Amino acid sequence: MDIAKPVFADYPHSGALSQALSGPRIAGLDFLRALAVFAVLLDHSGLQYSRFPYMLNGAMGVQLFFVLSGFLITWLLLGEFERHARIDFKAFYIRRFARLMPIFYVYVLLGTAVLLIAGKQVPWGAVFSSLFYGLNYYQALTGGQAHFLSHCWSLAVEEQFYFLWPLALALMLRKGMRLDKALVALIAGVWVYRAGAQLLGLAGDDYIYRALEMRADHLLIGCLLAVMLKQARWRAWFEQVHAKTPWVIFVLLAILSISGTHNQNLDYRYALGYMIEPVVAALLLPLIVLSAHGNASPLARLCNAPLVLKVGQASYGIYLLHQLVLHPVSMRLNALTHSPVLTFAIIAVLLAVVAHLSYTYFEMPIRRRLHGRR
């Protein structure tokens, strides 16, 4: 695969997916982010089990975030390589630092201060390991205790992957390797490794659920999707599927939901479910992009609704802040509203507003200052 060509040089016509992917912001991705963070909130609120059983779950939301992350960073890195025949590691790591670190460190300091002021125990081991993005292994080896940082293991997985993947990608590009074949081999290796660890009892649930080597396939599947969409035949294939069977989007969502109903069975989850679900999420991604791009359908209107876009943009902040807000506030609101659904709605709106303000007035100014207005 000659990836040194311009992005869409091999495409025989200007297809809808080519146009959607060539813009400065890819339509539909904020909808997927909003869906992912809503799944996490619904799960952690307890409503998933009491009112909306198995429709969405937090693990599914995290998988969707992983696939999106792998896709986006690989898409951008390949685009950079096509333009300049090199990857600027310094610029990449500055972008990741500017996007993730400032608000995360503010959250860690805020959560720690709240516990100290309230006279409650501070999980210092988790605090220190989170500052260096090692929380996933700290929790994997000590147990997944519940506290204001317990959900940040997934951020540690992503940061560790962000550090390693650009280096590995540059090495594969320099050696002229077929990226698609190399990624398939890596993904298959993780599948075998994880299934073996679970079925043979070589590692416990805390470790398999959180360790990078056990979850890297979810990010790598997103990377593989980016590599595939650099090729004309795959863009054309997704366009044909979307044009002929637009309802397949709902079939894929149903598969995710059905698979999620079996995730309490750890053998199924780690040997089969975590193979099926990220692949389905990767298939869903370009179909959602096509639906959201230049289409007046109800799904397109939903994907491009201003509220959905704002929630998607602020999804990182919502995910980060929710553990500190969700349970303390819900206890007080439930006593006032006597309605778990209304309480959840109020908290979701509160989190979205606070996260959007943070995104607009704190996170984005820092990003512009660190790497310009690009």
In tens digits, the chain (374 residues) has pLDDT values of 444 444 444 544 568 899 999 878 899 999 999 999 999 998 888 776 555 545 578 889 999 999 999 999 999 999 999 998 999 999 999 999 999 999 999 999 999 999 999 999 999 999 999 999 999 999 999 987 889 999 999 999 999 999 999 999 999 999 999 999 999 999 999 999 999 999 999 999 999 999 999 999 999 999 999 999 999 999 999 999 999 998 999 999 999 988 988 888 999 999 999 999 999 999 999 999 999 987 678 899 999 999 999 999 999 999 999 999 888 888 888 888 888 889 999 999 999 999 999 999 999 998 888 765 44
Locate tokens 């398939």: which residue? Answer: 184
Cα–Cα dist 310/316, whole Å:
11
Cα–Cα dist 104/100, whole Å:
6
N residues, the chain: 374
Structure letter (DSSP) for residue 294: S
CA distances from 253 to 59, 199, 284, 368 (A): 14, 28, 8, 36
pLDDT score at 5: 45
Domain extent listing, the chain: 16-113+217-371
pLDDT score at 7: 44
pLDDT score at 329: 87
Identity of residue 346: I
pLDDT score at 262: 87
Cα–Cα dist 144/141, whole Å:
9
